[in-house]
Amino acid sequence: MPTQKIIAHVDVNNAFLSWTAAYRLQFLGETLDLRTIPAVIGGDSKTRHGIVLAKSEPAKAMGIKTGEPLYQARQKCPHLQVFPPDYALYVQASQTLIAFLKERAPMVEQYSIDEAWIDLSGTQRLYGPPLQAAYQIKNDIRERMGFTVNIGLSTNKILAKTAGDFAKPDLLHTLFPEEIPDKLWPLPVKKLFQVGPASEKKLQAMGIFTVGQLAHTDPARLRRALHKHGETLWRFANGYGEDTLTEQMPLNKGYSHAMTAAQDVTERREAHRILLSLCETAAMRMRQDKQYGGCVGVFLRSHDFRHFVRQQQLAQPSDSTLEIYRQACRIFDRLWDGTTPLRQLGVSISKVTAAPVRQMCLFEGQDYERLAKSDAAMDEIRRKFGEDAIFRACFLQSPVPSMGGGLSKERRTGVTGPLPQDPAAAWEQEKNPLPGKRSEQE
């Protein structure tokens, strides 16, 4: 008889805050656990990145939400403790967690910096029944690494992830197919994986308010209203999902970066400099993934929070920084009226392909081979010596970073680091995960 698939979803509780708290307790010798007081990890309000990135349970109890501005959070809780993010530390903690899981399961698929699926199928002789094995993994992480996780257990990835979100923190939940009517179907439809605000609004307009109602709706009706996504949601609501894990991260379907300016942008030259910074980062990521984009988009947010978006096809797919940047500037110049102060600018690259065919044009006058060699040389220098080793002259003595948007430099450069040699003990033994980073943060 074939062995039943047993998939577990492991999710770190309030990851950024938990990792910060664990580090301060274990490595800095502090006695106050940030998870026991109203505390948040937040961006820098001076650069207008002042939003809540992670929160403690006491902060959550006071109505503080992830993603809201810090000034709103402080209005809800005047004695709120705010700590800056330390992405280098988070990368180290994530790598240690994933390496630990790989010691316990034959297959691990990382979903994000703080989430992963593990396949426990056929491990009963090693670790006992799946429920016992999952409890042991959860407890070992708490005792050895100092932070807690939620674990969801089921027969496929979607049900396992849904189970892990039932109640937190430091809990284990099951959602096997026979439990779907009692545990899944009574939930509000917004609790289903991949149901965002827009999908929820459309489903409610159709009279669908619970997962059970969605599961019993005609798939053809859902497909007419939400296209292919509607059929996907119907499958999730009925418990159908992928049960095969892969260790290889899927390629991006698009690349996007945005930057919030420290002061409102009112000059076209400064806006173009920000666009170049964003294109540098996005194009380098594309080249690392051996991807080429066919469509460039520009996103603008004004000082009064109005949004402006436009996109345009490239003549042919490209991974060239300058080619993408020039297209972004053309779009921006048509999109911006030249008078509205801008708070945030963003660049997106979509319709990506892994194997472009560039047709030479006699009238373009562009040496693509020269651009490709230039980009490759800059990528190699940055890879060996860091992002600041080479940059374009327009960023000299400029407040705009030469590569900006989305991920901080620590996150972009730290994720690719090697896994700990002794993952099970790395978090306990490593007194300073990334030397040199502490002094910058404290």
* Beta strands across the sheet bearing 342-350: 255-265, 342-350, 293-302, 307-318
Enter the tokens of residue 406. 């989305």
Contacts 24+ apart (CB under 8 A), 110-115: 110/249, 111/9, 111/161, 113/15, 114/11, 114/12, 114/15, 115/9, 115/10, 115/11, 115/12, 115/161
Which residues, at least 6 apart from 393, have a Cβ–Cβ distance to it below 8 Å? Answer: none
Do 162 and 12 contact (CB within 8 A), yes or no? no
- Which of 171, 400, 362, 373 is closest to 281 using CA atoms? 400
Calculate the CA 359 to chain-centre distance: 35
Q: Is 408 helix (H, G, I), strand (E, B) or coil?
A: coil
Dihedral over Cα of 293, 297, 303, 304: its sign: negative
**Beta-carbon neighbour count of residue 296 at 10 Å?**
27
Angle, CA of 20, 343 and 255, to the nearest 5°: 65
Do 58 and 36 contact (CB within 8 A), yes or no? yes
Which residues, at least 6 apart from 321, have a Cβ–Cβ distance to it below 8 Å? Answer: 279, 280, 283, 284, 371, 375
Helix (H) or strand (E) segment spanning residue 219: helix 219-226
Helix (H) or strand (E) segment spanning residue 165: none
Do 395 and 277 contact (CB within 8 A), yes or no? yes
> Is 115 among the residues known to form the active site?
yes
Q: Which of 68, 103, 115, 323 is catalytic?
A: 115
As a residue count, the chain comes to: 442
**Beta-carbon neighbour count of residue 373 at 10 Å?**
11
- Relative orientation angle of helices 268-289 and 368-385, to the nearest 10 degrees: 80
Token pair 């993408």 is found at 324
Is 340 exposed, middle or buried (CB count within 10 Å of its CB: 0-12, 13-18, 19+)? Answer: middle
Angle, CA of 336, 337 and 339, to the nearest 5°: 110
Which residues does the annotation mark as catalytic?
Answer: 115
